[in-house]
Amino acid sequence: MAFLQNCLHGLLKANTGRFLASRLPILSSNINENTENDIFCIQKRYAARKGKRIAATREKQRLARIRREEMKNAPPKVWKPKKYLVDKRLNAVSKKFNDENRKELSEIVDNVYILEHYKERKLSIPEALAFLRETHQEGIYDEPNALVQAKVELDLRTKKKTKFVENFRSIISFSNAFEHGTKRKVVAICKSDDDQEAAKNAGAEIVGSTDIIQMLKAGELSMENFDDLVCHGDMLIELAAIKKEINYYFPTKQRGNIGFDMARLVTHFVNGFEYKLIKDDIEPDYGYVQLPFGRLGQNDQALEENIETVLSSIDQHKPPGAPGDFISRVLILSEPSPEKFPISFWNYIDGYSDPNDLSEEDEEEKGAAPKKNSAKN
């Protein structure tokens, strides 16, 4: 039985092989024809795609040439401060003062008017002090010798559009001294006995030379317990060995805590007042400095001299190539009164002028405008 099955299986295989052999030429010819057709279609489609890609590339190149020509012929761009998006629920408004769209003060025709409709009136120092003294006399605030402060608003833009003035701080001392309620602890480093004696008499908390440096290096003395460090020029090389340990307090010309007159250095830092820049969290091109510059009991001339010192000290931090005035506005105030009086600060510092003053050309244009209108009428 098994033998018969094997024979039958052999016959079937033989017949199948003869059948395939007879059909092979037909199958191979069909395969060749289909392959040729497929290759031709693929080549045709590839050529079409290649043509579209070339056309698209040429179109991009043409548009790029047009854009380059437009950029060459375009007028120079005028930088404008970026408008930062603020959540309306915060009710945040710009802190930068701007009265460009208000009416001129010369248009006021009555003693009573709405302040927000007209440009801000700038006062002189004596005028602002007179208003403050009225409110601080007996019967009102009853503080006739209160501190007088200046709030100096700054434009922090630099010559680079995306860069703004970095945080800064400085020490200021006034020619007309006054009690401002702060006394600074100063470490003085100098070699000679005469300089050390002068530093002690000026009010330095600790005076020494290499012994102070060794104490700072060993950690026996920490600058956290003091406000500043002043150094004689002869000790700078020795002090450089602990530059990392004292970090911010290391003497530099910018901070002014290095020199050869120890009495003047110590007096400046002991009796001086430290101010710093306060930057706005939303508008990076706006910031201000607020510090006291006298007391209401001092005479006007002394306070005017002190405000000159304040403005000249702050203006030293002006960035080179700034697009506008570094100092934009100055307000005078005296707590507890909430009143703030803008002053004509350009009269107390060089390099600034009244922004509301018209130039001769502007005045001529303004004067010529009505004539044109009258001619039309």
Mean pLDDT within 120-139: 92
CATH code of domain 186-271: 3.40.50.790
Asked whether 348 and 308 are in contact (CB, 8 A), the reply is yes
Quick: pLDDT tens for 144-195: 999 999 999 999 999 988 899 999 888 898 988 888 877 888 999 998 899 9
pLDDT of residue 169: 87
The pair of structure tokens assigned to 192 is 């000679």
pLDDT of residue 79: 61
Residues found in the chain: 377
Give the H/E segment covering residue 169. Answer: strand 169-172
DSSP state of 317: T
pLDDT of residue 43: 61
- More confident of the two residues 113 and 25: 113
Closest to 204 (Cα-Cα) out of 148, 146, 267 = 267
β-strands 258-259, 228-232 pairing: parallel
* pLDDT band per the 50, 70, 90 thresholds, residue 111: confident
Contacts of 250 (CB under 8 A, 6+ apart): 229, 239, 243
* pLDDT band per the 50, 70, 90 thresholds, residue 355: confident
Q: What angle do CA 248, 254, 255 make, to 5 degrees?
A: 50
The pair of structure tokens assigned to 171 is 């020490």
Helix (H, G, I), strand (E, B) or coil at 55: helix
pLDDT of residue 221: 85
Select 121-178+273-348's CATH number: 1.20.58.1000, 3.30.470.20, 3.40.190.10, 3.30.190.20.
3.30.190.20
Quick: pLDDT tens for 230-275: 999 888 888 888 888 888 888 888 788 888 999 999 998 888 888 9
The pair of structure tokens assigned to 114 is 């709405």
Closest to 333 (Cα-Cα) out of 137, 138, 128, 122 = 128
Quick: pLDDT tens for 26-49: 444 555 555 556 565 666 666 667
* pLDDT band per the 50, 70, 90 thresholds, residue 313: very high
Q: Where in the chain is the domain with CATH 3.40.50.790?
A: 186-271
pLDDT of residue 242: 87
Q: Where in the chain is the domain with CATH 3.30.190.20?
A: 121-178+273-348
Residues 95 and 274: their CA atoms lie apart, in Å, by 24
The contacts found for 334-339 with CB under 8 angstroms, 24 or more apart, are 334/132, 334/136, 334/146, 334/147, 334/148, 334/149, 334/296, 335/146, 335/147, 335/149, 336/141, 336/143, 337/132, 337/135, 337/136, 337/141, 339/131, 339/132, 339/135
